[in-house]
Amino acid sequence: MKNLKIGLVKLPVASITLFFFCCLIAAYIHPGTEKEIISFKSDRYSFTHNFLSELGSFKTNTDETNPLIIQKDNTPSMLLFNGSLILIGATLMFFYIQFKKVFEIIEDTLRAKKLASITKPVGVLSGILYAGVGFVPHDLHFEAHVFFANSAFLVLFILCVLHSLTIYNSRFISNFYAVGYLLFCVVLFIYLRIIFFGPQIGPGKVFTENELMLQVIAQKSIVLTFMGSILVQVYGFNRLLNSLQKLNNKV
């Protein structure tokens, strides 16, 4: 029970909180950016013009080809962002390992236990991919970074569907949590269409300021929505585990 509460409640809350504050601090100390193609320049991180991954780069402006554009050291922001993102990946892995166990312990329906068994490896893979985003900054290897980032969101979509189906087939967890996660699936599906079929942003790509802002704002929106969705699931598991603990104490 103690391990379940750590993996399903305490660690996710701590990791999401730490990631949120690390992002804010990393953005605050970020030395600024310049994007010549859209004539944009700022001496600080822009929430509408900079991707989150730009917090995790070794230097600023590494996508720019003009040698006159200065690349500034970004090590403090990089360590904060990438370190907290790797923690998020590890937390996802641990969460879905415990996710499977909780349905076995409460002796839930056979369908819920089978779905939880399928959900577990997908959740672990999702965690590995998110950690990979942190391990491979975009200015270290752009293609690998994009692969990890896009794959992470794609696998997350599959994970959310499986997670929702597991909750829906449970006798002990309210369908409110399944419906909530399915709504997140809809939002995530829209985001996947934007990143795969929307304007492409990157080195050597031609894009407008509005196209850049669409991708940047969409990315931050889905990350915030994901964190909120996970916290709702955490609340549901916390209620379940507290009920089980009270029942055990009575016995």
- 33 φ, ψ (degrees, to nearest 5): -150, 160
The per-residue pLDDT for range 212-223, each reduced to its tens digit, is: 999 999 999 999
CA 233 to CA 8: how far, in whole Å? 9
pLDDT, position 251: 52
pLDDT, position 250: 63
CA 25 to CA 186: how far, in whole Å? 31
CA 49 to CA 45: how far, in whole Å? 8
Report residues of the chain scoring pLDDT below 70.
247-251
pLDDT, position 180: 84
CA 180 to CA 228: how far, in whole Å? 10
**Structural domain boundaries, residue 66:** 2-250
- Number of domains making up the chain: 1
pTM for this one? 0.91
pLDDT, position 30: 96
Contacts 24+ apart (CB under 8 A), 33-42: 33/60, 33/61, 34/60, 34/61, 34/64, 34/69, 34/70, 35/63, 35/64, 35/212, 36/64, 36/66, 36/69, 37/206, 37/207, 38/207, 38/208, 38/209, 38/212, 40/209
Nearest to 134 by CA among 83, 192, 201: 83
